[in-house]
Chains A and B, each alone.
Chain A
Amino acid sequence: MFFKKLKECLTGITALWLMAWTGAVHAEWGLNLTRGVTPISHEVYDLHMLILWVVTIIGIGVFSVMFWSILHHRKSKGAVSAKFHHSTTAEIVWTIIPILILVGMAIPATKTLIKMEQTGDADMTIKVTGYQWKWKYDYMDDGLSFFSVLAQDSNDARQPGSNIDLNSIDHYLLDVDQPIVLPINKKIRILTTANDVIHAWWVPALGWKRDAIPGFINDNWIIIEEPGTYRGQCAELCGKDHGFMPIVVKAVPEEEYVAWVKKMKMAKAAAAASGDRDFSKDELMASGKELYSKNCAVCHMAEGQGIPGTFPALAGSAIATTPEGLPDHIDRILHGKNLMPPFGEQLSDADIAAVVTYERNAWGNDTGDVVQPKDIKAAR
């Protein structure tokens, strides 16, 4: 094991040197802040470059003086130390000049900041809610609402010991199952909040990040000027899988956006219609397995073994194996308890029925129980 890692590391180092030699850099490789695609992000970028240059020049100035002195005023060169230890003029000069420079930077910064706070007269509003570890998007005007989680291929590859070549995956850790689609050239108001702990919604190309705080809502806005796909990540430590809750924004022309909304709505209606019927056990097990790995495995782990001390095991748990446990089992998923988040709002009756059925029949929990959507409806 260790030697394998070592070998990998060595290969890595070699690759690195080769790369440096040939200049074959990675496609998405960057050294600097992105310029972004919104008016604000451009201003922020310009500010960033401005301060960067200012401090670079100050730095070069100060250090040149210092290094000149280090080279020339050394004892080995026969330098004899002067006796001065004070100069009021110098002190005043090097107090005033920095103040002026700072004021020069503060003025444009203030202007940009004031602009960023102008969230009024938006064309549409999106509410973003952080969950451990996914995002929920509510289109307040179009009545759409969905969750967005790490894409399955990234999720498989990130498991320890998966041995999947990460370069074979498109946008490793930066891809989701359901991106948000937004129209370009519209002023979009983005409200951020959270359900459990603090998260932060950040897409660099949009020019800012904002904390999503449980119980409070923050107000922001964007106008995307170029169509494209923009990726970002949760930027506030939110627990175990903080590194695994990416954000993908797809900016499209308005007509495309309208069409997309229509499609989403139809899909939703279709799902709701099919949800009322009874399913076979196989159907439930199949969709339950998928739903489980998407929603539950982050905590209860792939084989239902949990993480001792933090997340209880479901394999062999009384709640998931005894008939008396069934009502609690459903209740726990619908309403949550302590650290267990409520899923009643996120998952449909059919989904929950599938997950419950799956959990009661997987990993040796062979109860044979089949739970149907109508059972869940009754328990709500």
Chain B
Amino acid sequence: MSESHSAYFIPEPSRWPIVGTLALFVSFIGGAIMLNGSGFGTFILGLGAGAIIYLFSGWFSDVICESIRGSYNRQVDTSFRWGMSWFIFSEVMFFAAFFGALFYARIYSVPWIGGEGAKLPTHEFLWPMFEAIWPLMTTPDATIEGGTTAYNQIKEVIPAWGVPAVNTLILLSSGVTVTLAHWSLKKNNRKGLCWWLFATVVLGFLFVTLQATEYAHAYHELGLKLSSGIYGSTFFMLTGFHGFHVTMGATMLTVILARSIKGHFTHENHFAFEAVAWYWHFVDVVWLGLFIFVYWL
């Protein structure tokens, strides 16, 4: 199929997959025990997390060795591309679940409780004082006379045109810088590659830092928490998972930067770079969705 000299590369038996499985297994057990309220679980979770880091560095360094040794022909490269694209698609669908929850709450459940649409008796008999406004500042249970509420009431929400807008700019420009880095690489301009990558990494971590300060602000001053009703829930789950992905992406970019500095990648063979760039564009696009539907509209 390819004009390349060797046939498809089938790796030797490898211990990494089973190590990975065990690492995840231990982390899950640890996490579960921790959630059940035992500090011992945190310890196990830590072990698992350590194992996961070990796994990634080990597995990927094998892959890097093989790649440098030239074991991968064009066809293997294509397999990686298919793999990475569909992996990113699965991530998109993961976010889709939470966006779905957000739209459901905004279009159906909150208006229903507020007496709009098909569920009038719900409002009449159960939540007569509740008004459907988004962002939801007061949870339905707080509107029941003499009742107690299980949730935090929000004093203020984060306006779209403050830090979130800045963050949008940051992420968008990081998308540009990573593309510039790619162009430099393709033109074999190593210096440009390193500097643009460096800029991307800086922007990435800047984003995470700003996001973290916003969180602190929301928790301490605005009363906006995970437990602030459905607004807080969707807000933090969406931005939180996104922030986690940005952190992962920025970390991967850092690795790519280190490898670039070490002189890895050639102008025609640099799939690892591209994979991380794709991933970065993906977190970028998700952020746009967040900015529009969570902060702005």
The residue in chain A whose Cβ has the minimal distance to the Cβ of B123 is A217
Give, as a whole number of angstroms, the nearest-CB distance from B117 to chain A.
Answer: 12
Residues of A within 8 A of B112 (CB): 216
B61 interface residue, CB < 8 Å from A? no
The complex places the Cα of A191 from the Cα of B112 at a distance, in Å, of 15
B107 interface residue, CB < 8 Å from A? no
The residue in chain A whose Cβ has the minimal distance to the Cβ of B119 is A216
B85 interface residue, CB < 8 Å from A? no
B50 interface residue, CB < 8 Å from A? no
The residue in chain A whose Cβ has the minimal distance to the Cβ of B121 is A217
In the complex, which residues 174-202 of chain A have their Cβ closer than 8 Å to any Cβ of chain B? 191, 193
A331 interface residue, CB < 8 Å from B? no
Give, as a whole number of angstroms, the nearest-CB distance from A16 to chain B.
Answer: 46
The residue in chain B whose Cβ has the minimal distance to the Cβ of A119 is B121
A127 interface residue, CB < 8 Å from B? yes
Residues of B within 8 A of A215 (CB): 113, 122, 126, 140
A375 interface residue, CB < 8 Å from B? no
Residues of A within 8 A of B140 (CB): 215
B125 interface residue, CB < 8 Å from A? yes
The residue in chain A whose Cβ has the minimal distance to the Cβ of B124 is A217
The complex places the Cα of A1 from the Cα of B148 at a distance, in Å, of 51
The complex places the Cα of A191 from the Cα of B124 at a distance, in Å, of 12
A153 interface residue, CB < 8 Å from B? no
The complex places the Cα of A365 from the Cα of B288 at a distance, in Å, of 63
The complex places the Cα of A217 from the Cα of B112 at a distance, in Å, of 10
Residues of A within 8 A of B120 (CB): 219
Residues of B within 8 A of A127 (CB): 125
Residues of B within 8 A of A216 (CB): 112-113, 119, 122, 126
The complex places the Cα of A215 from the Cα of B125 at a distance, in Å, of 10
A219, B121: Cβ atoms closer than 8 Å: yes
A191, B121: Cβ atoms closer than 8 Å: yes
Between A and B, how many residue pairs show CB distances below 8 Å? 25
Residues of chain B at interface, number, CB under 8 A? 10
Label chain A's interface by main secondary structure: strand
The complex places the Cα of A31 from the Cα of B68 at a distance, in Å, of 71
Give, as a whole number of angstroms, the nearest-CB distance from A118 to chain B.
Answer: 13
The residue in chain A whose Cβ has the minimal distance to the Cβ of B120 is A219
Residues of chain A at interface, number, CB under 8 A? 8
The complex places the Cα of A216 from the Cα of B120 at a distance, in Å, of 10
The complex places the Cα of A216 from the Cα of B118 at a distance, in Å, of 11
In the complex, which residues 83-126 of chain B have their Cβ closer than 8 Å to any Cβ of chain A? 112-113, 119-122, 124-126
Most chain A CB within 10 A, of B113, B122, B124, B126, is at B122
The complex places the Cα of A216 from the Cα of B140 at a distance, in Å, of 12
Residues of B within 8 A of A219 (CB): 119-121
The residue in chain B whose Cβ has the minimal distance to the Cβ of A216 is B122
Residues of A within 8 A of B122 (CB): 193, 215-217
Contact mask A201-242 → B, CB, 8 Å, 1/0? 000000000000001111100000000000000000000000
Most chain B CB within 10 A, of A191, A217, A218, A219, is at A217
Residues of A within 8 A of B125 (CB): 127, 191, 193, 217
The complex places the Cα of A215 from the Cα of B122 at a distance, in Å, of 7
Most chain A CB within 10 A, of B113, B125, B140, is at B125
Residues of A within 8 A of B124 (CB): 217
The complex places the Cα of A127 from the Cα of B124 at a distance, in Å, of 12
Contact mask A25-52 → B, CB, 8 Å, 1/0? 0000000000000000000000000000
The complex places the Cα of A191 from the Cα of B123 at a distance, in Å, of 12
Residues of A within 8 A of B113 (CB): 215-216
Give, as a whole number of angstroms, the nearest-CB distance from B189 to chain A.
Answer: 57
The residue in chain A whose Cβ has the minimal distance to the Cβ of B109 is A216
Give, as a whole number of angstroms, the nearest-CB distance from B18 to chain A.
Answer: 34
Give, as a whole number of angstroms, the nearest-CB distance from B37 to chain A.
Answer: 13
The residue in chain A whose Cβ has the minimal distance to the Cβ of B125 is A217
Give, as a whole number of angstroms, the nearest-CB distance from A50 to chain B.
Answer: 28
The complex places the Cα of A149 from the Cα of B193 at a distance, in Å, of 74
Residues of A within 8 A of B126 (CB): 193, 215-217
Most chain B CB within 10 A, of A193, A215, A218, A219, is at A215
The residue in chain B whose Cβ has the minimal distance to the Cβ of A335 is B148
The complex places the Cα of A23 from the Cα of B93 at a distance, in Å, of 57
Give, as a whole number of angstroms, the nearest-CB distance from B24 to chain A.
Answer: 27
The complex places the Cα of A25 from the Cα of B122 at a distance, in Å, of 45
The complex places the Cα of A219 from the Cα of B122 at a distance, in Å, of 9
Give, as a whole number of angstroms, the nearest-CB distance from B38 to chain A.
Answer: 15
The complex places the Cα of A127 from the Cα of B119 at a distance, in Å, of 14
The complex places the Cα of A217 from the Cα of B140 at a distance, in Å, of 15
Give, as a whole number of angstroms, the nearest-CB distance from A83 to chain B.
Answer: 33
Give, as a whole number of angstroms, the nearest-CB distance from B115 to chain A.
Answer: 11
Give, as a whole number of angstroms, the nearest-CB distance from B211 to chain A.
Answer: 32
The complex places the Cα of A289 from the Cα of B230 at a distance, in Å, of 43
The complex places the Cα of A215 from the Cα of B139 at a distance, in Å, of 12
Give, as a whole number of angstroms, the nearest-CB distance from B103 to chain A.
Answer: 18
Residues of B within 8 A of A218 (CB): 119
Contact mask B115-144 → A, CB, 8 Å, 1/0? 000011110111000000000000010000
Most chain B CB within 10 A, of A193, A216, A219, is at A216
The complex places the Cα of A127 from the Cα of B120 at a distance, in Å, of 14
The complex places the Cα of A53 from the Cα of B125 at a distance, in Å, of 43
Residues of A within 8 A of B121 (CB): 191, 217, 219
Residues of B within 8 A of A217 (CB): 119, 121-122, 124-126
Can you list 25 residue pairs at the A/B interface with Cβ under 8 Å? A127-B125, A191-B121, A191-B125, A193-B122, A193-B125, A193-B126, A215-B113, A215-B122, A215-B126, A215-B140, A216-B112, A216-B113, A216-B119, A216-B122, A216-B126, A217-B119, A217-B121, A217-B122, A217-B124, A217-B125, A217-B126, A218-B119, A219-B119, A219-B120, A219-B121
Nearest 7 pairs of A and B residues by beta carbon: A217-B121, A217-B122, A216-B122, A191-B121, A219-B121, A217-B125, A216-B119
Known: A193-B126, A216-B122. 15 other contacts (CB 8 A): A127-B125, A191-B121, A191-B125, A193-B125, A215-B113, A215-B126, A215-B140, A216-B112, A216-B113, A216-B119, A217-B121, A217-B126, A218-B119, A219-B119, A219-B120
